[in-house]
Amino acid sequence: MAKGSPDWWLETLSDNLAKRFELLLFYTSSLANHLLAANSEYEWLSIAGSGFLFSAYHKSKNVPAFNSWCFYNLDDTGYYSGYFLVSVANAAYAGVDAKGFYSCGITGCRVSAWDTSTHEYIVLSHNIPLQFNSSLVAKIKNDHSTDTATITHTVMYRLYVSSKPIKLKPKRHLSKYTSLIRQVLKHRFKACSAVIFDHYVVNPDEPEEHQHSAPRLIVIMPDAIYEREFDKIVSFLIKEDVATDIIEKKIKEHHAKNIRFF
């Protein structure tokens, strides 16, 4: 389809109208008590879509505060730590040495645990909504030379999407392929609002120290396509070895908080 052709203008108008009636929905992704080996990193959240990043929770145990990092990459501009949201290491380098409320550059944070004897630290950071137009990726890093860190990392964000996600068990680690999966789904089913590879807490009712997480693939389609093509989408992703099964059955209503923009 040539740019500027009648078909191109029609598709562009259709995409713009669809986005106008999408919702700005609240999402959380959570990595719980992940064991991160010395001198290693883990890219655990990848979003192909548009929205806003605004808050994160970072808990680190078993390594000094200066060695426990979170990084964020918005729209493939590169990984940054401390500029968007604050990790335990950022707080340590900013001079944090006790529980309390702090301002770290343009980001505010609440430190609810800071124990240098047991190496347990908790930082909740918040920023103005940071817009991303095509992608958001998050990773954690432990740069201690010998010790394994135990990391809990929760990221809170909003996405311009429809209201009914399809949640699946991914067959493999898919953080590098969310954009490709979204492109394939848009080609095959004519639209795809977002694709998320993340982790979720499997046992949220347990005490935090006993919680664990598992990988998850979320595909968000416009509501009409969701209702009409749900089974075909699931079957297609399983057939293509992207997923192994659904996590929850087809739903009639998604209860995420939302704001309409017209």
What tokens were used for 151? 């990391």
Residue among 162, 176, 155 at smallest CA distance from 70: 155
Q: What is the average pLDDT value for the chain, to the nearest integer?
A: 89
Q: Which of 209, 196, 197, 202 is nearest to 173 (CA)?
A: 197
CB atoms within 10 A of CB 100: 11
Model confidence over 50-105: pLDDT tens digits?
999 999 999 999 999 999 999 999 999 999 887 789 999 999 999 999 999 998 87
How many angstroms separate the CA atoms of 92 and 65, rounded? 6
Cβ-contact 47, 160 below 8 angstroms = no
| Amino acid in position 97 | D
Q: Quick one: pLDDT at residue 12?
A: 63
Q: Where are the domains of the chain?
A: 21-260
E strands, 143-208, in order: 149-161, 165-170, 194-201
Q: Residue 251 above 60 pLDDT?
A: no
The listed CATH number (2.60.40, 2.60.120, 3.30.1370, 1.20.140) that belongs to domain 21-260: 2.60.120
